[in-house]
Amino acid sequence: MPELPVWGMVLTPFAPDLTVDHASLAAHVHSLLDQGVHGVVALAVIAEPGALTRAERAAVLDTVLDSAGDRPVVATVMALDDDGHLDDLRTLIRPRADRLAAVMLPVHSPDPELVAARLQAAHRACGLPVWVQDYPGPTGVSIAFDDLVGALRAAPAVVAVKCEAPPTFRRIHALAAALPHLQLLSGLGGANLVEDLVAGASAVACGISRPADLVAATRAWTSGGMPAALAEVARFSARVGVETQPGTSIAVRKEHWRRAGTIAAAQVRPPQLPYPAFLSGLSDALVR
């Protein structure tokens, strides 16, 4: 069985004055790659793209591309409105398309015709393969399963779906049967990794603070199947649990990266909640 690719989600480190810390960003990307990820995904939810100006998003993407070297980079356009979406495609993605592996877009509407039209238009605008992120948590947009399948069938530019609409394993299992040509990615920090793999996930894309654990778990799945993968996931499930709590997930992950010595500070920008200091003892144990 071939090894499953694990993609690292890239956060945006901030200095104490909340300016983008590009030195920490480069160190963060290098650490992801050193831990065995296949490639990285930039400007997704964990990167706080809505709190960045367009100029900051461009600079962040350039630092990620420079730091990744010859490893694949997927860039995300999280804007749900038409104007913001088109502006990001034009100013962020198209000028860098020759250095990108794909562009990832969230499901922005429950209407399958609108979703398919946007996905195909994005491909025409930048010439890149398209990933879809089905993640109603941060976007507030849910799409019925049959409508999602209809949209994906009408958008041949789509090559992958990051499946984060709960229950993720049901969505993955049904998508694998309906559209077997697509790569289906498990996400949500790896909290549902084993059930997603059982359902038919063929890759992983997560932003937890120690992606080497996900690499080890997918390798265990490849070599030993479900029992081996369960044993690996059990080792880090407590850390995944605290790192995936809505509202504080980004700050907690940043604090764990800071404690690991990868980034200099754990600041977040509003509306993200700051790291809860009373968890310090727990973080000490989890990072160790």
**pLDDT tens for each residue of 61-74:** 999 999 999 999 99
Interval 260-286 mean pLDDT: 96
More confident call, 287 vs 122: 122
pLDDT tier at 1 (50, 70, 90 boundaries)? low
Over residues 208-243, the pLDDT tens digits come to: 999 999 999 999 999 999 999 999 999 999 999 999
Q: Which domains does the chain have, with CATH numbers?
A: 6-236 (3.20.20.70)
Q: Rounded mean pLDDT of the chain?
A: 96
In whole angstroms, give the CA distance from residue 176 to residue 202.
9
pLDDT score, position 191: 87
Over residues 30-68, the pLDDT tens digits come to: 999 999 999 999 999 999 999 999 999 999 999 999 999
pLDDT tier at 170 (50, 70, 90 boundaries)? very high
